[in-house]
Amino acid sequence: MRGRARAIGLLLGVATLLPASSAAAGLADRVGATFALMAADFIKAFQPLEGIVVDVAADLIYLDLGEAVGAQVGQEFTVFRKGNVFTHPLTGKPLGRYEEVLGWAQVRRVLARFSEAAFVPAPGKPAPRAEDGVRITRGRIKVAITPVLDLTRSKADVRRVPYLFATVLERSKRFQVIDPLAVTDMFANGSVRVEEMLARPERATRAARNLEVAGWLVPVLIERRGVTYLDATWISAVTGTALFSRRQPILAAEATEEQRFPWEPRVED
């Protein structure tokens, strides 16, 4: 409970430093605080993980990674083949092996001791085979956060939401977030729309190449039976398709307000 309070307090503290009208600040803060509670699922999906291919069947490959080691549906692994050893030019000591990237594996099904994944080939590379390697890098995952797609009738100013999301992801040490202002400008000039990230894979992959990111995080606000939800979807930069999504009701104003510091002004929708 204390961890949740700290996460929400951090987001709301950062939020006061960003420009926004007081009339619209409330919903943005609530969306940011809601994402703080679901962000652990995204962080967990991108923990460093390495295994091998154990079998290949057409466009499916099977990995020796199951539930016990953290494999889960929606993960995207790089598939590689180890090559010759390279050595230190002076001492001759082995330093590692060359690697050839064959493509990517998008996990579709996870069992106790192995997982099944769709294989996405890299252009001009050989097909995978048993004993090829797969990994989620130990380096930070580069991600772009789109502006909020608001499908409700709130008409609230939620332009600060990508900054709030970025704060959470950056602090996890697993993500490198593209400057939200640069991403917002790309959408503002009309060259691409947020809706296209969800519906047109070719547009998502093209825009991802321009930014050199591994994926998109698309926040969507929807309303069902009087309840507003945050839907956060991760889209692959490789295929432009949604790998996984998390949905949660937006926190009530009271739940976020009580986490604010005493000197912070109240927010109103």
- 159-177, pLDDT tens digit by residue? 999 999 999 999 999 999 9
Pick the range with the lowest mean pLDDT from 15-19, 153-157, 241-245: 15-19
For residue 127 the two structure tokens come to 């097909």
pLDDT score recorded for residue 262: 47
What is the DSSP annotation of the chain? -HHHHHHHHHHHHHHTTS---TTTHHHHHHHHHHHHHHHHHHHHHTS-EEEEEEEEETTEEEES--GGGT--TT-EEEEEEEEEEEE-TTT--EEEEEEEEEEEEEEEEE-SS-EEEEEEEPTTPPPP-TT-EEEE-SSPEEEEEPPPEE-SS-----TTHHHHHHHHHHHTTSEEE--HHHHHHHHHTTS--HHHHHH-HHHHHHHHHHHT-SEEEEEEEEEETTEEEEEEEEEETTT-SEEEEEEEEPPPHHHHHTTS-TTSPP---
User: In the chain, pLDDT over 70 holds for what percent of residues?
Assistant: 85
Which position has the higher pLDDT, 263 or 220?
A: 220
Give the mean model confidence (pLDDT) for residues 7-28: 50
Structural domains of the chain, ranges and CATH numbers in brackets:
2-45+140-257 (3.40.50.10610), 49-136 (2.40.10.410)
- For residue range 21-72, list pLDDT tens digits in order: 443 448 999 999 999 999 999 999 999 999 999 999 989 999 999 999 999 9
Strand partners, 236: 215
Chain CA centroid to CA 189, Å? 24
Measured distance CA(89)–CA(73) in Å, rounded: 43
Res. 9 pLDDT band, cuts 50 70 90: very low
pLDDT range class, residue 266, cuts 50, 70, 90: low
